[in-house]
Amino acid sequence: MKKPVKKTWLLASALTLGMAVLTPLQAGATSVETTNNVIMQIEQKIQGTVKYFGGDGLTIKGTDGKNYYIGLHKFSDQQIEQLKLVEGQEISVEGSIIEDYSDFYTFDVYKKSLPKGITKEELIQLEKLFHDMKKAGKEENYEEMERLYQAMDNITRPYELANWQPEPFEEFINEAAFTEKNIVIKAQDKEQLKTLYTEWIKFTKEDKTEMAQEKIDKIYTILEPYHQELYPPLTFEQYMADMEVDLTKEELTELKSIYDEAQKADKDKNEELSMKLWDQFYEKLNSHFKYEQISFEEYMADIEFEISQSDYTKLKQHYEKAVTLEKDGEEEKAGEQWEAFYKILDPYYEANKDILISASKLIINGQDLLPEQTK
């Protein structure tokens, strides 16, 4: 697979913000110069076959031999749910090339999740805060991101609470499938749970977070014995049933003792002791597992791109030396071999990584699918 041509940078018009921004343009993209001498990118059209489809995106193998990740963020959840794409299916996509996965999340995408009732003035405020937060993210200024997120939440939360429709108590209480397992909640407990649930809804709608949290904590405290009955902890013998590990009788006895003590600490809510005991248990258990390093050929089997013969030979040498050194306990020397190994391999990954496309149109079986209008 050929390396992508080096990117150039062209000036594009940011119409929604009324300012000029720098936008990456892949080689091969069509561009046009406007009457204002501003160069704008024309959307790409990609044809290929589906490799994977899931969530809010898909990967395709282009007819040009390149790999593409197609972000469907402009489309509604309902549109995405109705897509019936399968591996090997032919598809055409129109959209713009973006630089980073975070660039899929535009303000238009964010708007799709906004509650009803947001005013135009608040929408303008949210758009500024959103772009400021994206800028802070690129600068890795996480404290500023948190401040801006809180400012956005202060605007949207009242509307979210006003639009929130909590599920009925019976649906809430049966989410854990108690009835399917014939676990009956005592009448006294159920009455108390219903009262707490009603109070939790009231405080949540009033945005009284601490008081709402107290109610939900009490709910789960009452429900805990029922959850224990629903999902009883595994005995040591059940836990070890599928373990393919050789242990002496003395080692099994010691592990069982730690396991049972850890279970008791969990039941007593002694978190510090529980963590200590589970660490001991897994440290002793893991020391008996033998991890077999796969062969070089197996490691390379899933790599889809082509590697030159000379590099392949060097990679094999570094890989096998690293594995041998690790078996001999020479971790530092093994690390040097792994570093040399990835120094050769990483540029191939970089050259063959997916090109990111923010889709604005899908063409499936000759039918056009366009994003639904956002708010």
Please tell me the pTM assigned to this model.
0.65
The SS3 assignment for 307 reads coil
| pLDDT mean over 183-197 | 93
Q: Who wins on pLDDT, 304 or 204?
A: 204
* Alpha-carbon dihedral sign for residues 90, 94, 98, 101: negative
> 359 — phi, psi (to 5°)?
-75, 135
Helical spans, DSSP H, in 139-186: 142-163, 169-173
Mean per-residue pLDDT over the chain, rounded:
84
User: Helices 309-327 and 331-351 meet at what angle, rounded to 10?
Assistant: 150
Q: Say how far apart CA 229 and CA 233 lie, in whole Å.
A: 9
pLDDT at 374: 52
At 186, is the pLDDT very low, low, confident or very high (cuts 50, 70, 90)? very high
Q: Which residues on neighbouring strands pair with residue 47, listed in sequence order?
A: 92
Q: Say how far apart CA 13 and CA 33 lie, in whole Å.
A: 11
The model's pLDDT over 15-65, given as tens digits with 9 standing for 90+, comes to: 232 322 322 223 334 443 333 333 334 578 999 999 999 888 999 999 988
The model's pLDDT over 270-298, given as tens digits with 9 standing for 90+, comes to: 999 999 999 999 988 887 777 677 899 99
Q: Say how far apart CA 269 and CA 243 lie, in whole Å.
A: 27
Q: Which residues on neighbouring strands pair with residue 70, listed in sequence order?
A: 58, 357
